[in-house]
């Protein structure tokens, strides 16, 4: 396996330190095909040589919007090995949405699905030196062909701790999406601390059912497995049938709360079917205390809830052992991470049990927003704490509780949707006077994106017209599940729309239970 220089902070080199047996399995596919750690090493070398040959140099961005496959993971690790900056994008994003990301990241290479090559080629052509290659859902395509023909040896580029490994876009509350710059040390420190905290060993087998373009599926799930030399059963997406089929040979599952709501709605969930699993992890959105309790009653497992975000990776975790996993709490700060609660306006620290802004500092906290120095400055305190935008408290036992959001954000099935972006699109539709987009409790997705619209005088625009106009412009998960019409929006004395009033009025809109298995 690779010879690693001790001083090298390249994330790949740090993760590879634990891979003592090349023949061990890294990935098992649904058809039983396996990929060993030795194949991971040579496969990522091939992709690293291919992207180098395409002109990608150290520090260059590589934008990747492809379906989940082992090749897609190899591209991620190949970028890391080559010292390039990996920029994954949600496969649900439309071409209209991609235009901004590609323009902002100015990549040297875009990797996309073959069906999008032409449209993306037209966008990339505006940047100048930017190659476009493809990978399909089976991991095949022009980039695979180039990698296949390349050498399986590659000297991993030594990196400083502070060098960029990835940029992940998070939508902006006011306007443009922001690229969170994550360094090799950010990702390595978080992977190592999580693997240790959750007691992962090389004998673990994770059911990997999350997408790999966000922090949860990529940097939590995948990097923990790599940091432990363990293996994962790689599902293309969350599918209860496949989860139950694979549970007898797995030891862990990581998911968003919707996974657990859907498993609970399935008759197969029991002590018996989950007995081989040692750890169920939930995150990315609030896990209802009732889901936590119901899961524990049905299976005997207390789901371990943790809290993180794109800019910071993981911040807190309920205990793996030696303490209670408290329903409704996100746990204790991870080793090396400091959390404080402050008065949002001034940043003055608050005492235990007082509710305020959650702020975080540690080796996990990102370097700043890509090409947005002012935005970066305004989201950090002078002493280096990052202002998360989440509201919470720390209880007498040191557990962090999230009680709300200081940012106008809807989290649906673990995906973030910023109302401002949806409102701007709706307001541009003929016949719409104004709109307010809110999150309403949803039995399956946690929150359902909901639009409340005021028509222009005399206009007859309806729900179907609005949804039709948004299709193709906004990713499916951002599109409202319902559009409701009112004569006017409730406003406070300052003229600000009272979204809490709308949320209260429509709280029962999606109260029905999710489909059962
Ligand atoms: C799919 N749809 C969604 C949706 N996912 N709508 C709202 N919210 C979502 N999350 C749309 C589909 O396009 C479809 O539209 C309809 O809703 C029903 O789809 P489905 O078949 O029920 O959805 P499914 O494909 O099963 O996906 C649901 C899901 C998936 C929950 C399994 O969204 C998922 O894997 N979410 C995980 C997101 C994630 O990884 N988040 C981590 C971010 S990192 P139609 O009209 O075609 O029927 C982060 C940091 C941290 O937050 O702390 O971890
Ligand atoms: P993202 O930008 O997609 O990384 O989303 C991060 C946001 O998800 C955080 O700022 C929180 O608001 C939310 N989040 C993540 N984990 C949890 C959790 N366990 N409970 C409640 N909210 C969470």
- What are the per-10-residue average pLDDT scores of the chain (517 residues)? 66 94 97 97 98 98 98 98 98 92 97 97 91 98 98 97 97 76 98 98 98 98 98 98 98 98 98 98 97 98 98 98 96 98 96 98 98 96 97 98 92 95 96 98 97 97 97 94 97 94 96 57
pLDDT of residue 171: 73
- Ligand 1 within 6 A of CB of 471: no
Beta bridge partners of 134: 112
Question: CB-based contacts of 209: which residues, under 8 Å, 6+ apart?
Answer: 235, 237, 238, 239, 242, 243, 253, 255, 259
DSSP states of 256-274:
-HHHHHHHHTSTT-STTTT
Q: Which of 379, 303, 384, 387 is nearest to 341 (CA)?
A: 387
- Ligand 1 within 6 A of CB of 286: no
pLDDT of residue 76: 98
Q: How far is the CA of 81 from the centre of ligand 1 (A)?
A: 30
- Ligand 2 within 6 A of CB of 317: no
Q: Whose CA is nearest to atom 1 of ligand 1?
A: 477
Dihedral, CA of residue 42, residue 48, residue 50 and residue 53, to nearest 10: -140
- Ligand 1 within 6 A of CB of 308: yes
pLDDT of residue 517: 44
User: Which ligand gives the minimal distance to the CA of 215?
Assistant: 1
Task: Ligand 2, residue 415: give the atom nearest the CA.
Answer: 3
343: which 2 tokens?
Answer: 């008065």
CA dist., res. 336 & res. 360, Å (int): 11
Q: How far is the CA of 455 from the centre of ligand 2 (A)?
A: 34
Q: What are phi and psi of 292, to 5 degrees?
A: -60, -45
- Ligand 2 within 6 A of CB of 291: no
Q: How far is the CA of 316 from the centre of ligand 2 (A)?
A: 11
- Ligand 1 within 6 A of CB of 216: yes
Burial of 286 by CB count in 10 Å (0-12 exposed, 13-18 middle, 19+ buried)?
buried
pLDDT of residue 174: 59
Q: State pTM to two decimals.
A: 0.96
CA dist., res. 500 & res. 486, Å (int): 15
- According to the 3-state scheme, what is the secondary structure of 286-306? CCCHHHHHHHHHHHCCCCEEE
């Amino acid at each position: 396996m690779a010879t690693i220089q001790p001083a090298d902070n390249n994330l790949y080199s740090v993760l590879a330190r634990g891979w003592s047996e090349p023949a061990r399995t890294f990935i098992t596919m649904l058809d039983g095909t396996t990929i060993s750690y030795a194949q991971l090493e040579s496969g990522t070398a091939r992709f690293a040589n291919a992207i180098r040959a395409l002109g990608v140099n150290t520090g260059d961005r590589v934008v990747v919007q492809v379906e989940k496959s082992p090749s897609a993971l190899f591209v991620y690790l190949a970028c890391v090995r080559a010292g390039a900056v990996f920029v994954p994008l949600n496969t649900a994003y439309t071409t209209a949405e991609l235009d901004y990301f590609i323009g902002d990241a100015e990549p040297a290479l875009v990797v996309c699905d073959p069906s999008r090559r032409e449209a993306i080629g037209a966008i990339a052509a505006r940047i100048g030196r930017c190659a476009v290659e493809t990978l399909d859902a089976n991991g095949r395509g022009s980039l695979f062909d180039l990698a296949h023909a390349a050498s399986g040896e590659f000297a991993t580029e030594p990196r400083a701790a502070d060098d960029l490994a990835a940029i992940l876009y998070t939508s902006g509350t006011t306007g443009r999406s922001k690229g969170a710059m994550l360094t090799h040390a950010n990702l390595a420190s978080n992977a190592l601390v999580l693997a240790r905290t959750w007691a992962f060993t090389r004998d673990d087998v994770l059911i990997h059912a999350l997408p790999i373009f966000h922090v949860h599926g990529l940097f939590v799930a995948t990097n923990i497995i790599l940091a432990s030399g363990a293996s994962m059963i790689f599902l293309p997406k969350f599918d209860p049938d496949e989860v139950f089929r694979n549970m007898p040979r797995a030891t862990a599952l990581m998911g968003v709360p919707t996974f657990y709501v859907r498993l609970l709605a399935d008759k197969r969930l029991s002590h018996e079917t989950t007995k081989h699993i040692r750890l169920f992890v939930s995150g990315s959105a609030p896990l209802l205390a009732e889901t936590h309790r119901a899961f524990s009653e049905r299976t005997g497992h207390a789901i371990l809830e943790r809290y993180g975000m794109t800019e910071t990776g993981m911040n807190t975790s309920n205990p793996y052992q030696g303490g209670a996993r408290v329903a409704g709490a996100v746990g204790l700060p991870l080793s090396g991470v400091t959390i404080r609660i402050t008065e949002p306006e001034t940043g003055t620290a608050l005492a235990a049990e007082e509710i305020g802004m959650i702020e975080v500092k540690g080796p996990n906290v990102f370097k700043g927003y890509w090409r947005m120095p002012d935005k970066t400055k305004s989201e950090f305190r002078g002493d280096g704490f990052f202002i998360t935008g989440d509201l919470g408290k720390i209880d007498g036992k040191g557990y962090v509780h999230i009680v709300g959001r200081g940012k106008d954000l809807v989290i649906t099935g673990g995906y973030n949707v910023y109302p401002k972006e949806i409102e701007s699109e709706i307001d541009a539709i003929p016949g719409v006077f104004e709109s307010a987009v809110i999150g309403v409790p949803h039995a399956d997705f946690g929150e359902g994106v909901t639009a409340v619209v005021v028509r222009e005088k005399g206009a007859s625009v309806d729900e179907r017209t609005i949804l039709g106009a948004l299709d193709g412009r906004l990713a499916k998960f951002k599109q409202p599940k319902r559009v409701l019409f009112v004569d006017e929006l409730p406003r406070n004395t300052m003229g600000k729309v009272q979204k809490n009033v709308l949320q209260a009025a429509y709280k029962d809109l999606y109260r029905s239970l999710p489909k059962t298995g």
